[in-house]
Amino acid sequence: MIRLAVTHVLNAALGEDRFHVNTNSDTYKRANIQFLGIEATDFINCDLSKHFVLAADFIQCGLQGGGKVFVHCVQGASRSATLVVAYLMIKKHMVVQDALRLIREKREVCPNHGFLQQLCNLNEELKKSGHFSSK
């Protein structure tokens, strides 16, 4: 992480069982890396949407300061990808399809159906509020 100049880490799979990644702020403290851990499972009934704004703010904070943000989960395909899509929607005013397309140009991701529905719900909320037209 230090070699890559990462300044912020968002663990979207905080926890101690085999479906999670057991890291916390102590893991990164000596390297002066800011940490945010979100306890989430990769199940369709997991409400990841309650963390969308917090995650988007954390990512934005890291990038605004000229830093590099590493967002991860166990496989890097569902939980972390969902939070990055939400960031692009909330902070970069991208509709869900464009945000997913952008990420899929860089890496293979596959948010689970529950997370995709939550992103579609976010898209509708942002659309109704005029968020996408206020670039």
Q: Which residue has the tokens 């509709």?
A: 95
CB count within 10 Å of CB 72 equals 16
User: How far, in Å, CA of 112 to CA of 88, rounded?
Assistant: 18
Q: How far apart are the first and last CA of the chain?
A: 33
CA distance 27 to 72: 15
In this structure, are residues 26 and 15 in contact, taking their beta carbons and an 8 Å threshold? no
Enzyme catalytic residues? 73
User: In this structure, are residues 15 and 21 in contact, taking their beta carbons and an 8 Å threshold?
Assistant: yes
